[in-house]
Amino acid sequence: MEPDKTIERLQTEMWDRTIPPLETLTTLEMLKVMNAGDQTVPLLVKEHLSEIAAAVDAISERLSQGGRMFYVGAGTSGRLGVLDAAECPPTFNTDPSMVQAIMAGGPDALVHAVEGAEDSMESGQQQIRLAGVQSRDVVVGLSASGRTPFVIGALKEGRLRGACTISVSANDEPEVKHLSDIVIAVPTGPEVMEYQKGIG
């Protein structure tokens, strides 16, 4: 199979070349660079508060009608969904079934990378069917790239079932937008840390 060159053009897959190689910096300099990058995110989120408010209102409406919310994601995005879902019962005294998380690769993927799990659109669709998603439910697709097949499949199946579909991504014009009633796309820009092959 030929490598997918499309993903290499996404900002979330790029390294910010205005930043010097981190291995050339002292620990304090490195931390200052990372901290400066972190500070740009809240300002970017501020530009998308109207979409976030629309998502909150849509979710609130359906939960008040007895619906459920499903976070769907892969890798880090999926793990963040699991974390948020797990925090809802102790923080808001919600029933554990109200906010759930579906992660590509299942529970094992929480602590170990499950290679290829995110690449199956059919698996994403199947998980939504197994969850018995209905029209009063909400499917929230979490995908930094906005093109994860597992998430696309879940949103597609959720839409077929009449559920409200919401996507959260970190790139402009994410592929998931065409399957989302509400699109939250916050272009956070290239990565501070460059991936080094063979180093984790």
pTM of the model: 0.86
Percent of the chain with pLDDT over 90: 69
Percent of the chain with pLDDT over 70: 88
Per-residue pLDDT, 156? 98
Give the model confidence (pLDDT) of 140-189 as tens digits: 999 999 999 999 999 999 999 999 999 999 988 899 999 999 999 999 88
The one catalytic residue among 118, 157, 173, 175: 118
The one catalytic residue among 87, 115, 122, 175: 87
Please report, to the nearest 10 degrees, the dihedral formed by the alpha carbons of residues 9, 70, 106, 176 taken in order. Answer: -20
Mean pLDDT to the nearest integer, 16-45: 87
How many Cα neighbours within 13 Å face the side chain of 128? 33
Confidence of residue 71 (pLDDT cuts 50, 70, 90): very high
Is residue 61 annotated as a catalytic residue, yes or no?
A: no
User: 71 by DSSP, 3-state: which?
Assistant: strand
Closest Cα partner for 152 from 170, 178, 172, 113? 178
Is residue 173 annotated as a catalytic residue, yes or no?
A: no
What amino acid occupies position 12?
Answer: T
Mean pLDDT to the nearest integer, 78-84: 96
Own/partner long-range contacts of 75-81 (Cβ < 8 Å, ≥24 apart): 75/104, 75/109, 75/113, 75/118, 76/144, 77/142, 77/143, 77/144, 77/148, 77/151, 78/102, 78/103, 78/104, 78/105, 78/109, 78/142, 79/103, 79/109, 79/110, 80/142, 81/140, 81/142
